[in-house]
């Protein structure tokens, strides 16, 4: 399989090329440690010997104060990457999709084209939308999806306690 092509909204420079052909054994939704009263959320694909992380990262748009454009960073990371999270929800996979299959789904739905809110929030909405896509494609089960969505509706502290928070919605372009 040829290397996935990067563009302004998609960085695959740290994705090990052969990981695209790896079968995903589970998906893990992870909340990072809170910073300024928000958690940054990631989606991980567990493959043999490591994870592939999907990180919708925000960057300021030059000349447009308050506007943060998302950039989907896809990278291969070792198992230690999950230790930094304060909340995790696992989704076991239906079928045997590969990393490439699910990245294709993300790109077919243009999920790499995302703009954060004026306050720089929106990763929870992005993650929920991608989980919606996985549910609709039959990759994850509804019960696990519901638990993941419930987790996204909270701010999680280092002790693992959640406080309800409204999900701020960025927009897909």
Per-domain residue ranges for the chain? 10-172
Angle between helices 99-108 and 123-136 (to 10 degrees): 110
Q: Looking at residue 67, what is its pLDDT?
A: 65
Question: Which residue positions in the chain have pLDDT lower than 50?
Answer: none
Rg (CA), the chain: 15
C-alpha–C-alpha distance, residues 47 and 24, integer Å: 5
The residue behind tokens 């696992």 is 90
Q: Looking at residue 116, what is its pLDDT?
A: 92
Query: Which string of b and e fits 112-150 if b means at least 16 CB within 10 Å?
Result: bbbbbbeebbbbbbbbbbbbebbbebebbeeebbeebbe
C-alpha–C-alpha distance, residues 151 and 115, integer Å: 22
Write a three-state SS string for 38-91: ECCEEEEEEECCEEEEEEEEEEECCCCCCCEEEEEEEEEECHHHHHHEEEEEEE
Q: Looking at residue 74, what is its pLDDT?
A: 97
Q: Looking at residue 63, what is its pLDDT?
A: 66
Q: Looking at residue 83, what is its pLDDT?
A: 81
């Amino acid at each position: 399989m040829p290397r996935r092509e990067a563009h302004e909204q998609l960085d695959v420079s740290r994705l090990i090329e052969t990981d695209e052909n790896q079968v995903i054994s589970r998906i893990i939704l992870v909340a990072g440690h809170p910073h300024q009263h928000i958690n940054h959320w990631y989606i991980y694909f567990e493959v043999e010997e490591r994870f592939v992380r999907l990180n919708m990262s925000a960057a300021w748009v030059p000349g447009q104060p308050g506007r943060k454009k998302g950039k989907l960073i896809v990278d291969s990371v070792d198992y230690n990457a999950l230790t930094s999270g304060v909340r995790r929800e696992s989704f076991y996979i239906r079928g045997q999709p590969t990393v490439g299959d699910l990245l294709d789904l993300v790109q077919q739905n243009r999920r790499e084209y995302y703009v954060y809110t004026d306050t720089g929030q929106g990763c929870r909405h992005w993650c929920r939308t991608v989980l919606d896509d996985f549910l609709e494609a039959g990759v994850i089960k509804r019960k696990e999806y519901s638990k993941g969505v419930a987790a996204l509706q909270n701010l999680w502290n280092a002790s693992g306690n959640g406080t309800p928070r409204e999900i701020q919605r960025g927009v897909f372009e």
